[in-house]
Structure 1
């Protein structure tokens, strides 16, 4: 069934099912197989001294390092040990929660797939902003100036269910008049697409495997020149501007989304433990000065994905629901 953007979306799941791309049969084992570093049970509702937090998909070592201050904060303020797990893709998150192998997650697709499964702590805030951006980039000398120029070209996306690295970009290309075909579950018509992760998407442009790529601002802004002219909405809400021009290779942005609510942090509703509320209070009451106390010695502050949480609801993620519906993506059981 399609997601109803005006009401709670209970009953839908986190697997794309428009053409049977993923099936329910693989959910229980898929959760284990798709979580990096998994060895047996990830977390246990019988032993709440250890809490498993499923991070957003990415390179395990890099992703875990980014969230280390958040882990240290929880462990420093609550009598609990936090185990971080990095899934290979977004479709592995909900099965881990449903099977009670994890307690905390932080992606909007899983939240939207079945709000009844999760209780929301809030939306992450970094640098004073609870918003981020989807962006499209190309080589500086490319003749791609606007979205319609992608016709007949190759486009690199992040994970198929990534909000900024796939869903928002596909919708934007469709709105520009391009035929996106069955993407992200199948192939586009007017251009060639490939799906991987945010870092690989940029690498493909850098090494000539793709003409353009889409990623989130925190990943793309370091790769654009310092003198890049930015839209007002980006300069107002982006928290990545202090990283501009700090990474190579350099790319040229040609499209930016409007501000998207950053990732939510949520816990599974079946987690019956006082630790759930204790952790929520710590995250909601954190601030920059407190989180700084939990930086590892070698931590790069530019990577920080969290300082506190903003109290939010499903309504804040309506733009994501709208785009999933428009692209015909059913998050089915």
Structure 2
């Protein structure tokens, strides 16, 4: 279908102006004020983490990676949980972190202060997918059927939970208006903090007809055969083999409406002006990490990391994100941390 026209000039400014320090207040309480670059060589390497799922202890999940990096580099690694996608890049911008686990959507506006160290992979694959889902008793069979309905999405800067689904809606012919900066015209879209909450909003609220989440948060509750017609998902998604796995344990069954094109997995980013020798050691250790380094055999299944390696990458690997920002007429600095 023909894409709905968007407004604006599609020029992206840098991230620096709007974020300043106001939205960083929540993270500053954890990290302390920025030190203006006056780090000592033996200070801990601050690694900021942003959870995509509500029901996770991300510090616990990253502890094996922390221990691996410390053993490989001799550095002390400090893991710090952020509260949002924006906060992870603000931490780099204001010298409150050296490394950040973050979303691809922060890259278009962070050229002046953040570098890509590598791209996360899962079971050998650097690609993942967004899904739009509903419940089996729903009358929603395609994206077209969402006209006039309410749909739940993830955090405003979530690549697979919000921005990729917004493009899916637009490409299907729905007028999404100013979303995610404002309201959509052909349907109501409400956002949540993370993928798990988005999914549960739809399950528990009869007024919410559909939800958008990364496949990692939906596939375990979708019968595997529903993905079989999506060849790229079958070939590239780490979630395909696990599809439907939670149904036998009594999880609520979900119905697949649509699957996105392949998306590049999230980057590990570093502060550009972090010029200590340990930076190269950390990057090399990340790229050399094996699955058993990140998910040791003795780790409780509840605390397993959701990716299995990091491969070499740079900003050119995320051109799709830049194109998506252009298509949606977005600038990273327009997003406010809530």
TM-score tier, shorter chain, comes to 0.7 to 0.9
Asked if the contact 1:137/1:255 (under 8 Å) is kept, the reply is: yes
Question: What is the Cα deviation at residue 300 of structure 1?
Answer: 4.2
Report what 2:278 is aligned to.
Answer: 275
Describe the SS at the equivalent of 1:218.
helix
Report what 1:260 is aligned to.
Answer: 263
Provide, for residues 20-79 of structure 1, a one-character-per-residue CA deviation record: whole Å limited to 9, x for no partner. xxx72x6314223157x7263588851453122222344385333333332222123222
2:161 to 158, 162, 165: 165
Asked if the contact 1:2/1:330 (under 8 Å) is kept, the reply is: no
Describe the SS at the equivalent of 1:267.
strand
Find the aligned partners of 1:12 and 1:38 in 2 and give their Cα distance.
26
1:174 to 170, 181, 187: 170
Asked if the contact 2:64/2:293 (under 8 Å) is kept, the reply is: no
Find the aligned partners of 1:131 and 1:152 in 2 and give their Cα distance.
32
Find the aligned partners of 2:110 and 2:127 in 1 and give their Cα distance.
22
Asked if the contact 1:152/1:190 (under 8 Å) is kept, the reply is: yes
Report what 2:149 is aligned to.
Answer: 153
Q: 1:27 to 1:40 in 2, by over 3 A?
A: same
1:56 is aligned to 2:56: no
Report what 2:135 is aligned to.
Answer: 139
Indicate the RMSD between aligned Cα atoms, in angstroms: 2.5
Asked if the contact 2:120/2:309 (under 8 Å) is kept, the reply is: yes
* Structure 2 unaligned regions, length at least 5: 1-7
Q: 1:185 to 1:87 in 2, by over 3 A?
A: farther
* Structure 1 unaligned regions, length at least 5: 15-22
Please give the TM-score of this superposition, normalised by the length of structure 1.
0.86
Report what 1:30 is aligned to.
Answer: 23
Report what 2:4 is aligned to.
Answer: none
Report what 2:97 is aligned to.
Answer: 102
Q: 1:60 to 1:235 in 2, by over 3 A?
A: closer
Describe the SS at the equivalent of 1:203.
helix
Report what 1:40 is aligned to.
Answer: 32
* Corresponding residue pairs, total: 316
1:12 to 11, 14, 23: 14
Report what 2:86 is aligned to.
Answer: 91
